[in-house]
Chain A
Amino acid sequence: MAAMKKLTLPKSVLDMKFMKKTKERIENSKDHDNLYSGVITNDMKQASGNYIAESSFIYCTDLLEGRLSFKGMNPEIERLMEQEKPKGKEGDMQKDVSDEVLAKTMEKFNKRKRPFSPSKYNYIKKRK
C-alpha cells in the first residue's frame, strides 16, 4: 500500500488546470478495477494455477527454422542461416590455435624464459 501511495500524484497537483486529463485517466482506471471486482473472483484468477496450456509443438521441442537452403541454391536464405548459426559454436570457430598446441608452446616458452626471469637464485645473488 505504501508503494502505491508513492506513485500517485498529490491532490493539489491534480487539481491544477493542465492536469485535467491525467486526473480523468486516474479516476477511470479506478472505475475499471471496481467494475470487474465483483465478477472476477480470486478463484478465477488462480484457476489455472501453475499450468500453462500451449497449443503448439514449437515451444515443446527445439526445431530448426523451416526455411533452409543448401549449397548456394538461395544465397539470401543461406546468409540468414549463417548469421544465426555461429552462436553455439563461437568458442571453437574463433580459435586459430587449439588448446593443446597453446599449452605445449607456452610450456616451451616458459622453460626458455626461466633463466632470465627473476628467480630465487637471482634473489640470493643480490643478497650476497
Chain B
Amino acid sequence: MKVKIGDVVLPGDYCDEITADGVKSKVVLGPGLRKEVDHVYIMKAGVLRKRNPNTFWVDSYQKRYVPSRSENVIGIVVQKAGDLYRVDIGGSCTAALSYLSFEGATKKNRPEVQIGDVIYAKMLVASKDMEPELVCVDSHGKKGRLGVLNDGFVFKCSLNLIRKILNPICPLLESLKNEWPFELAAGMNGRIWIKANTMRETIAVGYAILGAEYLSDDEIKTMCTNIASILAGHVS
C-alpha cells in the first residue's frame, strides 16, 4: 500500500515521496527502509518519519538490539579470551572488546576489568556477518564518557524508551536533574545504568524512566514532581 510521511506503516508498504526526493538529491534511508528497484519499501511496522533535509526512517517499537556502528551501548563482560573481553550487549552474539582499547592501556599495563563488570562502550565495527567490536576510547585515545561503570543499577527497557529520554525535547531529564544528585548511562541497546546516593533515590530514577514510556510530555512533568515530593517526604 502507498503511504505518506507520518502514517502508521507496515512491512511491504512503499512511499513515493521518498522516491520523488531521491530523484532530485541525496536521501538518507534510516532503519526500517529499503530501496528496491522500483520503490522505497518499508521493512518494519511503525510510524514513518522524516527530518529535513531528506532523512527518513521508521519509528518502531523494538526490544531486540541489532548492533550498528558508532552507537554507545552498555555491556556486561562475560569472558576473558586472551587479548579480548567478550561482552554481552544483548545482540545476537557477544561483542569483542580488546584490552588495548582502554585509555592508557598497554600490553604490560592491562586495564582492570573483571568478568561481570558493566561497561559503557562505543560500537566500532558492526557488520551483518561478523562479531561486533567495541572500544572504550575515542579517536584521540581519551576515554571521555566511556569505560567501566562502577556500582549503580542496570535495567532493561525497549529501544524506543532510550531514544525518547535522550531526545533533547523530552522533559524527563530536565525535570529530574534539579531534584537530587544522580548519574545515568543509557545504551542504545536498551539498557540503562543508574546510580544515586541512596537506594530510595536510585529506585526513584529507575521508576521515573520506566514510567515515562507511554506518557505525554505534560504527564511526565507531573510524574516527576510527584516522585520528587514523595522522595522529599512531603507525601508518604
Contacts and interface: CB of A to CB of B under 8 A. Distances in A.
Interface of A: 48-74, 77, 80
B29 A80 contact: no
Nearest to A68: B184
A67 B27 contact: no
A52 B166 CA distance: 25
B72 A55 contact: no
A50 B177 contact: no
Interface of B: 22-31, 33-35, 40, 49, 51, 55, 57, 66, 68-72, 120, 126, 144-146, 159, 162-163, 166-168, 173, 176-178, 180-188, 195-197
A74 B69 CA distance: 27
Given A57-B188, A67-B145, A70-B173, 8 more contacts: A54-B30, A60-B28, A60-B49, A60-B55, A68-B173, A71-B181, A74-B195, A80-B145
A61 B71 contact: no
A55 B185 contact: no
Nearest to B144: A80
B185 A63 contact: no
A59 B166 CA distance: 13
A9 B88 CA distance: 53
Given A59-B55, A60-B51, A66 B185 contact: yes
24 contacts: A51-B29, A51-B40, A52-B28, A55-B66, A57-B163, A57-B188, A58-B71, A63-B168, A64-B166, A64-B173, A66-B72, A66-B120, A67-B72, A67-B145, A67-B146, A67-B185, A68-B185, A70-B178, A70-B181, A71-B178, A71-B181, A71-B182, A72-B181, A74-B183
A50 B22 contact: yes
Contact of A55 (B68, B145, B159, B183): B68
B166 A63 contact: yes
Nearest to A66: B186
